[in-house]
Amino acid sequence: QVFKPIVEKFNFTFNCDIKRRGYYPQGGGEVVVQMSPVKELSPINLTERGTVTKIYGRAFVAGALPIKLAKDMSAAAVRCIRKEIRDLYINIQPVREPDDQAVGTGSGIIVVAETSTGCLLAGSSLGKRGKNSDKVGIEAAEILLRNLKHGGTVDDSLQDQLIIFMALAKGVSRVKSGPITLHTQTAIHFAEQLTKAKFTVTKSEEEDPSKDTYIIECQGMGMINPNL
């Protein structure tokens, strides 16, 4: 819901078909990914957040868990978001995964905010034995709200996932983010070791000084697919 539409801004597309979801500890999920090769990746410029235009998501249960838990997670998340954002319709669908499309028992929620410039930021949380379903919903909502407050264009989960694509792209990519995560620092370190890309991270001067917002810039190596 977040990774695919944003990463496709590097000028490639792929299809991701979730055949079956697998839950801890058994696992057993199955995903089929298909894509067409491209000659090179284009750089991206994700520096304009815009305004939040919609908030949506899904709260799910699978296996032996009742749909009521999904409804409780959804309602708790909506109540939490409503304290900060009052003028937007929030659509978090409670769903029960079909038994033939899920292995094991599990629950969770993802809440996505979409902005006027096409940015997608999210918060998510997984349920577990002994964890109140309201708490799961509130956790996801609080993560989303935290990601919205810093003014960046990506959330703290997507932040590090874009690094390798920025490194491989041809040209300069720029992404505005919140606080730089340890995952992102690690991804930058290894991307620079493995490619000729060069990253710089600077405090964003456009934002309110009280906001912890940064610009991640990368001069990509411009990797070329020799088979095309």
Catalytic residue list: 183
C-alpha 52/C-alpha 92 separation (Å) is 16
> How many C-beta atoms lie closer than 10 Å to residue 204's C-beta?
19
Residues in Cβ contact with 83 at an 8 Å cutoff, skipping those fewer than 6 apart: none
Residues in Cβ contact with 116 at an 8 Å cutoff, skipping those fewer than 6 apart: 50, 51, 52, 53
Q: Do β-strands 172-177 and 45-46 pair in parallel, antiparallel, or remain unpaired?
A: parallel
Cis peptide leading into 209, omega within 30 of 0? no
User: Is residue 211 a contact partner of residue 186, using CB atoms and an 8 Å limit?
Assistant: no
Which ranges constitute the DSSP H helices of 83-221? 133-149, 158-161, 163-168, 182-194
Residue bearing tokens 């918060």: 123
